[in-house]
Amino acid sequence: MQSLTRNLASKIALLPMIIISLTVFVGCIIYSFVYSLTGSKLIPALNYVGFKQYEMLFKSRKWDVAVENIFIYGFVFTIGCLVIGFLLAVLIDQKIRGESLFRTIFLYPYAMSFVVTGLVWKWVLNPTFGFEHSMHLWGFEWFKLDWLVNRELAIYAVCIAAVWQGAGFVMVLMLAGLRGIDDDIWKSLSIEGVPKWKSYLFVILPMIRPMVVTSIVLIAAGVVKVYDLILALTSGGPGFATTTPAMYVMENFFSRANLGQAFAASIIMFISVVCILAPWAYYEFYFRNKEAKA
């Protein structure tokens, strides 16, 4: 009884979160799972078909491509944002003139919606009107920028647009971390004669670990959900070369009126996310807390 009333105010304050976690997040997962076992088409119906939707999902060539793409995109986008974000933060940290101007320039794409980002890059990468055309007009006839229409490269075009949008945000996080480093550390590093690039990479980077982790969490949440950007940029094409799991889900929800399949795909997505996240979350919030207390 005592345990119930302990921190009662806190419990009540967290009630909205608890209700939402249970009804919306957990509820939606259960709902999706139940309907993934049905043959629902345009609207949800409880006509159970067992695990047939999952069978069809794993047989689908398109789903295979989608899974492969999300790994490529996740890897390139995450690494791209982290590397470029860190690099830009280090550059800006060199006491340069016009710092706030450059900071704004690198950050502004983050204010754009994915739809806008997709549209702009579609326009720039368009082989008939875009950058390639400009280069041809300038006499560089050999210049080729056909990423959007090339099956192998289209997914990397998506990555470029996404990194353009997200790198500035990572830069801000990293910069905030760098500015939190004590001057004494820099002094002692320069006394010991450690080259600057080595200091950044091996001393400073581990020190701003919280920023790196925050960046990764925010980026990763975006990776799983990537949909609008691809829709605006390539619509999943050429063929279905740039389709992603979120896109597969959306397509089956709306245009294909194949709800059962959409629910099955989203359950698989959810399970994958849990498998990747659970160990990290356990470490980050449980293990480390315990360690700190011990």
- Residues 60-99 touching another protein, rule: CB under 8 A, are 61-62, 88, 91-96, 99
The smaller minimum CB distance to another protein, of residues 69 and 109, is found at 109
Q: Residue 188 Cβ, how far from another protein at the closest point, in Å?
A: 15
Q: Residue 54 Cβ, how far from another protein at the closest point, in Å?
A: 14
Cβ within 8 Å of residue 94, ≥6 positions away: none
**215: exposed, middle or buried (C-beta count within 10 Å: 0-12, 13-18, 19+)?**
buried
Q: Which residue carries 């969490």 as its tokens?
A: 217
Q: Are 66 and 245 in contact (CB under 8 A)?
A: yes
| DSSP conformation class of 138 | T
- Of the candidate spans 66-74, 75-83, 199-207, 266-274, the one that interacts with another protein by CB under 8 A turns out to be 266-274
Query: Which listed residue (73, 77, 86, 114) binds another protein by CB under 8 A?
Result: 114
Peptide bond into 127 cis (omega under 30): no
Shortest CA distance to 216 belongs to which of 249, 148, 267, 170? 170
Q: Six-digit token pair at 87? A: 């690099």
Query: Which listed residue (82, 164, 229, 268) binds another protein by CB under 8 A?
Result: 164
The smaller minimum CB distance to another protein, of residues 67 and 112, is found at 112
How many residues sit close enough to another protein to count as binding (CB under 8 A)? Answer: 139
Q: Residue 288 Cβ, how far from another protein at the closest point, in Å?
A: 4
Q: Are 168 and 107 in contact (CB under 8 A)?
A: yes
CA atoms of 111 and 88, how far apart (whole Å)? 18
The smaller minimum CB distance to another protein, of residues 176 and 194, is found at 176
Query: Which listed residue (129, 140, 143, 202) binds another protein by CB under 8 A?
Result: 129
- Of the candidate spans 66-74, 75-83, 168-176, 198-206, the one that interacts with another protein by CB under 8 A turns out to be 168-176
Q: Which residue carries 């009540």 as its tokens?
A: 12
Query: Which listed residue (219, 230, 262, 268) binds another protein by CB under 8 A?
Result: 262
162 lines the binding site for another protein (CB under 8 A)? no
50 lines the binding site for another protein (CB under 8 A)? no
Q: Residue 202 Cβ, how far from another protein at the closest point, in Å?
A: 20
The SS3 call for residue 48 is strand
Q: Are 208 and 236 in contact (CB under 8 A)?
A: no
Q: Are 224 and 273 in contact (CB under 8 A)?
A: yes
The smaller minimum CB distance to another protein, of residues 202 and 284, is found at 284
Query: Which listed residue (48, 51, 58, 108) binds another protein by CB under 8 A?
Result: 108
